[in-house]
A = this chain, B = another copy of it.
Amino acid sequence: NPFAGLVSHLRASWLSGKTRPMEYRVAQLEALGCFLDEKKQQILEATASDLGKAPFEAELSEIFLCKNELHETLNNLSHWMKDKHVDRTLAMQLDSAFIRKDPYGVVLIIAPWNYPIHLFLVPLIGAIAAGNCVIVKPSEVSKKTERLVAEALPGYLDKDCFAVVTGGVQETTRLLENKFDYIFFTGSSPVGRIIMTAAAKHLTPVTLELGGKNPCYVSDTCDVTNVARRVAWGRFFNAGQTCIAPDYLLCTIEMQEKLLPALREAINDFYGPNPRDSPDFGRIVNDKQFQRVQRLLGSGRVAIGGQTDEAERYIAPTVLVDVQPSDPVMQEEIFGPILPIVVISNMDEAIDFINSRERPLAVYAFSSNDKVVNQVLERTSSGGFCGNDTLMHVTLTSLPFGGIGNSGLGLHHGKFSFDTFSHHRGCLKRGMGWESLNAPRYPPYCKKKFGVIQATSKVSRKNDCTLL
């Protein structure tokens, strides 16, 4: 296996204990910060080349949000690393009972192309913080960024413990034949299944950040202008190539009539009369994706946009109406700058529509009436939820980010990344003496002994408490 040598080199480094001291981890994390600072310009250029990513968007998603995660981790690492002492029973009052955060060992992070720095770097922060060695496999689809990472990142990190591997499906398949101690994958659900099946051979725990069709319900009571802006922003950021983008809108026919002019105005405000000329609107990453997304324009009726340019891989910010649940645009995750509107009669219908489909990464609900937002939250199931906005819930490092069902398993961001890449080891340290405390548990068994065991280790039922 072409990667066996690399994996065993990293495993030897991990077994040597090199990554355990906090000072080591902090040094590697600070080096990651230097990478983001010193290579900022190259990152902006590479992502602009790969997906026409607007520098503002690249700076925000690939640099700024990553630095937030880095700072959050550096600010709290010593606290997160500490043994966590836990409650003890009567019999264990003299003992030490705590949770030790152990690294897993050698971690594999596989990243996709849409946020090609962020989606390997944020998990990498957690993996390093937790004391692991890491192999990073950036996406071969975002070619310029892949080359930048492969050439530049090793210059910042300890080569004994961290490596970048490049390649496509074949190389990844061979890489996965090796035993890893944790695999973190961001990408599509079908590939997620392949990753988990490969992981199962080695009983390797996984986090899978996958995708889905994130519904966006807009109730009849809302500020149409604000809704249009927030939805348009979330849909067209990165030319729609965002796993948590609002994928389709659910609203009544009356709301659709109000939303369309508001959406038209928002798009105009953002990108001008011809978005193709705007420096702030991205492009589709490659021809295959371009053709896939372009095909979806055939669903329903184009109400806004719809223009394309194959040479530039440009698809205009588009809104489709008269979309049927059976249309092609409703059969797959769009991952492009198209917003279909599906008309429903009321909130119950919207909720049933959402619940009859695979659980998405995010559910969005817009309403001036908090009860409506809460209903949608209560009665649906998704990775995450945002009321009255899109995307923003994932910018808070204190909220866990992850999917459920087809949209994934596991979570990360902030402390959750550290926890993801740590094994929580339950530890009990007892005294060598005090053997008389143990006598009741030994044979020969008798009722009296049992009475003592019960008295010292029993957990009693407390009085009822009410859910506040």
By a beta-carbon cutoff of 8 Å, the part of chain A in contact with chain B is: 15, 17, 22, 26, 54-57, 59-60, 64, 67-72, 74-75, 78-79, 81-82, 86-89, 92, 97, 99-100, 102, 104-105, 181, 189, 192-193, 196-197, 199-201, 203-205, 208, 210, 222-223, 225-227, 229-230, 233, 269-272, 278-281, 355, 366-368, 370, 373, 377, 379, 381-389, 392-402, 404-406, 408-411, 413, 423-433, 435, 438, 441-446, 449-450, 453-454, 457-462, 464-468
User: Would B200 and A433 count as touching, CB distance under 8 A?
Assistant: no
Check A395–B64 contact: CB distance below 8 A: no
Shortest distance from the beta carbon of A207 to any chain B beta carbon, whole Å: 10
Contact assessment for A203 and B409 in the assembled complex, using a CB-CB cutoff below 8 Å: yes
**C-alpha gap A269/B435 in the complex (Å):** 14
Q: Is the CB of B432 within 8 A of A222?
A: yes
Given contacts A398-B86, A409-B205, A453-B60, contact A78 B467 (CB under 8 A): yes
Copies of this protein chain in the complex: 2
Residue pair B229, A385 in contact (C-beta under 8 Å)? no
Q: Are B54 and A443 in contact (CB under 8 A)?
A: yes
Given A75-B462, A230-B438, A458-B68, are A430 and B386 also a contact pair (CB < 8 Å)?
yes
* CB–CB B396/A92 < 8 A: yes
Q: Is the beta-carbon distance between A432 and B88 smaller than 8 angstroms? A: no
- A-B complex: 8 closest residue pairs judged by Cβ atoms: A56-B445, A399-B426, A196-B200, A393-B428, A280-B443, A86-B398, A387-B429, A270-B443
Are A397 and B459 also in contact (CB < 8 A) when A78-B467, A409-B205, A435-B229 are? yes
Given contacts A78-B465, A393-B426, A396-B428, 18 further A-B contacts (CB under 8 A): A55-B445, A56-B449, A64-B454, A71-B459, A74-B461, A82-B468, A87-B398, A97-B399, A99-B399, A196-B200, A205-B409, A205-B410, A226-B435, A269-B442, A279-B445, A382-B425, A388-B431, A394-B426
CA distance A193 to B200 in the complex (A): 5
Least CB distance from A67 to B in Å reads 8
CB of B381 within 8 A of CB of A105, answer yes
A89 to B280 CA separation, bound complex (whole angstroms): 26
In the bound complex, CA of A86 to CA of B398 (Å)? 6
A81/B381 in contact, CB under 8 A: no
Bound Cα distance from A22 to B54, whole angstroms: 48
Best-surrounded residue of A60, A381, A425 (most CB of chain B within 10 A)? A425
Smallest CB–CB gap between A179 and chain B, Å?
A: 9
B residues in contact with A467, CB < 8 Å: 22, 78, 81-82
Inside 8 A of A269's CB, which chain B residues have their CB? 442-443
Which residues does chain B contribute within 8 Å of A400, judged by CB atoms? 99, 424-426
Find chain B residues with CB under 8 A from A406 CB.
203
Contact of A229 among B60, B75, B280, B442 (CB under 8 A): B442
Residues of B within 8 A of A427 (CB): 377, 384-387, 393, 399
